[in-house]
Amino acid sequence: MFDYIRGKVTNKKVDYVTLDVNGIGYKIHISLNTFDKVKESEVRLYIHNYVREDAFILYGFYDENEREFFEKLLSVSGVGAKLAIAILSTFNVKDLKHMILNEDINLLIKVPGLGVKKGKKLILDIKDKLPVNFTLEDGFENLDSIRVSELEENIYLALESLGYSSKDIDKFVEREKIKDYKNIEEAIKDILKKFKVKNNLFSNIRGGLWKKRDILYLKHW
């Protein structure tokens, strides 16, 4: 069994890297967090040996904390290696610990494939296993980026519901500015000013082209 593997990076994909060690290539599956940290031509990855009757798969992590949390996730019934990697690809370890201690199920279930039932079980099973020296005061590392992503998604959904295409929205939504909006209503108002179509929207309403829910939505403007 391997504790870590150090080698030359000969192939790097979003879900795995190949490390060459003395002419032998090891395919090692990774999270997106590890992917972002692998920048050197030679790297050491801490290994989890995933052994099953029909498979022997290597999972690698840039630091031991991520590997340790990966193994905690595997201890939860219903959480396999692929879902554990998806969790660690969506959030970093520090943010995950914060969410679990805070029992923030709504944020946690943004992980693809992790539903409410399984998310609650994950929180219940892991919360008591977290170190006592980790507190809520440590805070999120990526709270701003998470908030921006949520607001950006809601902006696109709102504008698409009003008939705009993703291509049109792309022209006027500036990701750098999203963080300055206080809420979705402020964002939509500002972006619609750029579209310069407010009068056209109300003309469509008078012409009966809009559904009732669209009219109610426009009342917020």
Q: What is the model's pLDDT at position 220? A: 46
**What pLDDT score was predicted for residue 199?**
44
Residue 123: beta bridge partners?
A: none
Q: Which CATH superfamily is domain 64-138 in?
A: 5' to 3' exonuclease, C-terminal subdomain (1.10.150.20)
Which residues, 6+ apart, have CB-to-CB distance to 186 below 8 Å? none
Give residue 216's pLDDT.
47
pLDDT for 144 equals 56
Range name among 12-21, 64-73, 145-154, 181-190 with the lowest pLDDT average: 145-154
Q: Taking Cα atoms as reference points, which of 180, 164, 161 lies closest to residue 172?
A: 164
**Structural element, H or E, at residue 155:** helix 143-161
Q: Tell me if 44 sits within 8 A of 30, measured CB to CB.
A: no
Under a CB-based contact definition with an 8 Å cutoff, are residues 101 and 127 in contact? Answer: yes
- Give the DSSP H/E element, type plus range, for residue 57: strand 55-61
Cα 139 to Cα 49: distance, rounded to the nearest angstrom: 31
Report long-range pairs for 11-14 (Cβ below 8 Å, ≥24 apart). 12/38
**Comparing 4-61 with 64-138, is the CATH topology the same?**
no
24 in helix, strand or coil? strand
Opening angle at CA 194, ends 191 and 197, nearest 5: 95
Question: Which residue did the predictor score with more confidence, 185 or 47?
Answer: 47
Hey, what long-range contacts does 169-178 have (CB within 8 A, 24 or more apart)? 175/148, 178/148, 178/151, 178/152
CATH architecture for segment(s) 4-61: Beta Barrel (2.40)
Q: Which stretch of 2-11, 75-84, 116-125, 187-196 has the lowest confidence by average pLDDT?
A: 187-196
Residue 201 has pLDDT above 60, yes or no: no
- How do residues 140-169 score in pLDDT, each as one tens digit? 455 556 666 777 777 888 778 777 788 777
Q: What's residue 86's pLDDT?
A: 93
Q: What is the mean pLDDT of residues 26-31?
A: 96
The band of 215, judged by pLDDT with boundaries at 50, 70 and 90, is very low
73 confidence band (pLDDT: 50, 70, 90): very high
| Residues 164 and 196: beta-carbon distance below 8 Å | no
- The secondary structure element, H or E, covering residue 145 is helix 143-161
Summarised one tens digit per residue, pLDDT across range 46-65 is: 999 998 888 899 999 999 99
* pLDDT at position 53: 82
Domain ranges of the chain: 4-61, 64-138, 143-218
